[in-house]
């Protein structure tokens, strides 16, 4: 990180989960931290915690509102006269088969997961171009590379984040601005709490899947920090999912056959879950 002597980082979705873990790892390494979220109590508490070791502050930022991001950007420039790393981390989760998932859920997740990243990049990129330096970290998901059944809207947003990131990699290279895209698989987080699905009880199932991971949000954050140090574009924290992604790239027929099998299993579990609740 020697290329960023001022050590200034801004993080969306920083009040909890991976965002908070990222804020902590950067603060531990001497970075000034600008936190943004819509969870004001948790955000203010995080800022107070980090202020004990570094210059940190919190702002209410809804990534669906360009004006919120613009005001946050102005506050950062006023306070620090620039920025070195922007982390577009804010996100939500959705689930549902294509025929039953409401269009409103599609619009909601696209507005936050994909357009939130677009808005963040659009507001901050002019600063990086003017400085002639900077780095953008977009938090996607393995769902952006591996598209599991019944996760269409979520998969689409995360694949979009990967596409935007790859586009920016070439677009910002002339301005000495790097780009990384983070694609974690399941890990222990609170994403399930706000997840939307047409199927009752799916939140419990998602939480169980998250709980199976051996990696915590702190583990992911450390891997992200090291990945940026090495100027990696793809940061893939989970070895298993990385191997599955390689299978998709090099032996697509085998991978697609596995997706069909997974689809049958997922449908069976969902039908069983719905049937059980109907009887109850």
Positions marked active-site? 154
Q: What do you get for the CA distance between the two ends of the chain, in Å?
A: 56
* Calpha distance 60→196 (Å, rounded): 23
91: number of Cβ within 10 Å: 27
* Calpha distance 258→86 (Å, rounded): 36
Residue pair 224/17 in contact (Cβ under 8 Å)? The answer is: no
141: number of Cβ within 10 Å: 26
**What pairs with residue 151 in β-bridges?**
96
* Calpha distance 214→204 (Å, rounded): 19
Residues contacting 189, CB < 8 A, separation 6+: 17, 18, 210, 217
* Helix ranges restricted to H, 173-201: none
Residue 146, SS3? coil
* Helix ranges restricted to H, the chain: 17-28, 40-51, 66-80, 103-109, 115-131, 152-172, 202-211, 217-229, 239-250, 252-279
Residue pair 38/61 in contact (Cβ under 8 Å)? The answer is: yes
């Amino acid at each position: 990180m020697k290329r960023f002597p001022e050590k200034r980082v801004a993080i969306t979705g920083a009040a909890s989960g991976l965002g908070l873990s990222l804020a902590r790892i950067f603060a531990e390494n001497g970075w000034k931290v600008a936190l943004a979220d819509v969870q004001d109590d948790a955000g203010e508490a995080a800022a107070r915690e980090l202020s004990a070791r570094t210059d940190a502050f919190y702002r209410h930022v809804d990534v669906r509102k360009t004006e919120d991001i613009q005001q946050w950007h102005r506050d950062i420039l006023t306070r620090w006269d620039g920025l070195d790393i922007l982390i577009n981390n804010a996100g939500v989760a959705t689930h549902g088969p294509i025929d039953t998932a409401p269009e409103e859920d599609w619009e909601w997740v696209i507005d936050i997961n994909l357009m939130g990243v677009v808005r963040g990049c659009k507001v901050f990129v002019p600063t990086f171009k003017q400085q002639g330096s900077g780095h953008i970290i977009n938090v996607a998901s393995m769902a952006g590379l591996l598209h599991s059944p019944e996760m269409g809207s979520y998969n689409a947003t995360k694949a979009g984040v990967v596409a935007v990131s790859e586009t920016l990699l070439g677009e910002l290279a002339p301005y000495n601005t790097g780009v990384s895209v983070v694609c974690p698989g399941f890990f222990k987080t609170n994403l399930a709490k706000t997840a939307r699905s047409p199927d009752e009880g799916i939140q419990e199932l998602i939480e169980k899947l998250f709980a199976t991971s051996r990696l915590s949000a702190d583990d992911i954050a450390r891997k992200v920090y090291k990945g940026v140090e090495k100027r990696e574009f793809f940061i893939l924290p989970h070895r298993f999912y990385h191997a599955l992604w390689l299978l998709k790239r090099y032996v697509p027929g085998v991978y697609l056959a596995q997706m069909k099998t997974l689809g049958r299993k997922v449908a069976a579990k969902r039908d069983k879950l719905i049937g059980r609740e109907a009887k109850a």
